[in-house]
Amino acid sequence: MTNPIVTSFWDKPTGSWQYVFHDPNTMKGAIVDPVLDFDPLSGATRTHNAQRILDYVQETGIEVEWVLDTHPHADHFSAASWLAARLEGARTGIGERVVGVQKLWKEIYHLGDLPEDGSQWDRLFADGDLFMVGKVPVLVLFSPGHTLASVTYVAGDAAFVHDTLMMPDSGSSRADFPGGSSHDLYQSIQRILSLPEETRIFVGHDYAPNGREPLCEATVAEHRASNVHFASDPTEEDFRKVRNARDATLPLPRLMLAALQVNIRGGRVPEAEANGRSYLKIPLDQFDPR
């Protein structure tokens, strides 16, 4: 089995990690969870993050075959569509349960004309699907809990889990969004932590607690030994009690209501109206403030 070279890209405003992994032998690669910049005060979208990734793969000579989303994000816009349009031959992909997220948020946003069949991506992956990036095998694990559609991409010895696990000193990600479930999250994390101990787990966020530098990688063995939510081998009941209590104190992500209506479209903003501008909808009084 060929293991990939992984390069990470940090987006400080959203605390997000983005990744490029590639096969060093064939130079074929994939992008995971790229960020499209958005300023909620001005409404401006920018491509600084996506351009950094584009410059990197072009300068390095990586032939990008896939631009992958792990789930529709609530804290940043996806740049998958923008990047795929600029990388010849690149296809977009996400887990097949995204259709459930589309259906849920289509109702919240009252988007009567939005296709809820996942057709905004080139491929919808099912649990257990296996595909190749060069000579690197990529296994798709359905990993619900944070959202009802989350997947993990296990590329050789690298697992891209995004909002399922955090770094060991932060534990796990929240499970209180619409469609989320602490029960499902527990089961998903148990499955991820059953991967070989040397598997490198790459997370989607890090908020650098206690002033340390942002980090993105820890092995399965390190999570088993020191993850603050799992090192003690908790029962599901104990984990859910901790996770649900923590989630009850968390505010909604500041970009959630803007981001999801873009991300359920595969990272595309709504179509321009007659004046040539696109508009986002904010459902008033749908959620209680915290």
Give pLDDT tens digits for 168-194.
999 999 999 999 999 999 999 999 999
Cα separations (Å) of 288 from 219, 245, 251, 252, 266?
A: 37, 17, 10, 9, 27
Output the six-digit token pair for 17.
């990690």
pTM above threshold 0.75: yes
Domain assignment present for residue 279? The answer is no
Domain assignment present for residue 270? The answer is no
Domain assignment present for residue 175? The answer is yes
Q: Identify whether the C-beta of residue 188 lies closer than 8 Å to the C-beta of residue 150.
A: yes
Domain assignment present for residue 170? The answer is yes
Output the six-digit token pair for 285.
């009084």
Helix (H, G, I), strand (E, B) or coil at 90: coil
The pLDDT tens digits of the residues spanning 261-289 come to 999 999 999 999 999 999 999 999 999 87
DSSP 268: -
Domain assignment present for residue 188? The answer is yes
CATH number at residue 230: 3.60.15.10
The type of residue at 280 is L
Domain that holds residue 123: 5-263
Return the closest-CA partner of residue 164 out of 79, 155, 177, 268.
177
Number of domains forming the structure of the chain: 1
Return the closest-CA partner of residue 152 out of 181, 183, 129, 119.
129
Return the closest-CA partner of residue 143 out of 187, 174, 104.
187
Give the percent of the chain with pLDDT over 90: 96
Report the alpha-carbon distance of residue 70 to residue 4 in Å, rounded.
18
CA angle 43, 45, 48 (to 5 degrees): 145
